């Protein structure tokens, strides 16, 4: 299955280079009053990635069932499969090679404006870089997890990998995080609203 999807994603990436890109913005009705309040504090709310990583409706290359999430880490795209052979494609930032995770999981938990508790590994890397992190950061516009988080579970256990928002939208389209999948906050809100608990997630 994964080999089939990988081949389809490669073909889709090659075809994308020949097509014009149109941005399909997330409707403002998706946002809660808390979202609007937090966004009003952000100087980067309107920062957008390169055109190929803007949210758009595309022909589904995955052939997975509607409601499935497929993450193409090589090309920094996340697909949410729609009915009738379509998908929403979002730009993402993914984990650097040393920290990247791949596999099949399910959405085991969903949080709005999630708090962040850095792992000991993250604390260690940040100390080596000369930074100190708090033991816990409550949800806010400054939190690295951004506006929403989908927590990925495998065989009923938390993988410690998430699909979440970001406080660094300029990095969408890059391999920068510690394995997690970052999205624009508007995009992760849209994905969060569409995705039920237990949804299948394939990370390639």
The predicted model gives 177-187 an average pLDDT of: 88
The predicted model gives 172-179 an average pLDDT of: 84
Q: Are strands 157-164 and 175-177 parallel, antiparallel or unpaired?
A: unpaired
- pLDDT of residue 75 exceeding 90, the answer is yes
In the 3-class helix/strand/coil scheme, how is the chain assigned residue by residue? CHHHHHHHHHHHHHHHCCCCCCCCCCCHHHCCHHHHHHHCCCCCCCCCCCHHHCCEEEECCCCCCCCCEEEECCCCEEEEECCCCEEEEEECEEECCCCCCCEEEEEEEEEECCCECCCHHHHHHHHHCCCCCCCCECCCCCCCCCCEEEEEEECCEEEEEEEECCCCHHHCCCEEECCCEECCHHHHHHHHHHCCCCCEEEEC
Mean pLDDT of the chain: 87
- pLDDT band, very low/low/confident/very high, at 37 (cuts 50, 70, 90): very high
**Amino acid 87: pLDDT:** 97
The CATH homologous superfamily for domain 33-203 is: L,D-transpeptidase catalytic domain-like (2.40.440.10)
Domain ranges of the chain: 33-203
The predicted model gives 76-85 an average pLDDT of: 97
Q: Which residue has the higher pLDDT, 146 or 15?
A: 146
As annotated, the active-site residues are 164, 180
**Amino acid 7: pLDDT:** 67
**Amino acid 133: pLDDT:** 78
The predicted model gives 91-105 an average pLDDT of: 83
Specify the residue for token string 């993450």. 71
**Amino acid 31: pLDDT:** 94
**Amino acid 132: pLDDT:** 81
Model confidence pLDDT, tens digit, residues 48-65: 888 899 999 999 999 999
**Amino acid 100: pLDDT:** 72
Least confidently predicted of 16-20, 39-43, 148-152 = 16-20
- pLDDT of residue 19 exceeding 60, the answer is no
Q: Is the dihedral of CA 95, 97, 101, 103 positive or negative?
A: positive
**Amino acid 137: pLDDT:** 84
**Amino acid 13: pLDDT:** 62
């Amino acid at each position: 299955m994964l080999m089939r999807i990988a081949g389809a994603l490669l073909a889709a990436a090659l075809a994308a280079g020949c097509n014009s890109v149109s941005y399909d913005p997330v409707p403002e009705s998706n946002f809660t009053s808390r979202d609007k309040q937090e966004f009003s504090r952000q100087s980067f709310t309107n920062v957008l990635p390169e055109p190929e990583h803007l949210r758009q409706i595309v022909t589904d290359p995955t052939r997975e069932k509607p409601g499935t999430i497929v993450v193409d880490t090589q090309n920094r795209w996340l697909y949410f499969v729609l009915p009738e052979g379509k998908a929403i494609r979002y730009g993402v930032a993914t984990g650097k090679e040393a920290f990247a995770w791949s596999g099949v999981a399910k959405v085991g938990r969903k949080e709005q404006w999630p708090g962040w508790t850095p792992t000991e590994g993250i604390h260690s890397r940040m100390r080596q870089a000369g930074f100190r992190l708090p033991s816990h950061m409550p949800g806010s516009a400054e939190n690295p997890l951004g506006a929403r988080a989908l927590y990925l579970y495998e065989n009923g256990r938390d993988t410690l990998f998430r699909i979440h928002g970001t406080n660094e939208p300029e990095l969408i389209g890059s391999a920068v995080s510690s394995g997690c999948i970052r999205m624009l906050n508007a995009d992760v809100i849209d994905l969060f609203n569409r995705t039920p608990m237990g949804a299948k997630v394939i990370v390639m």
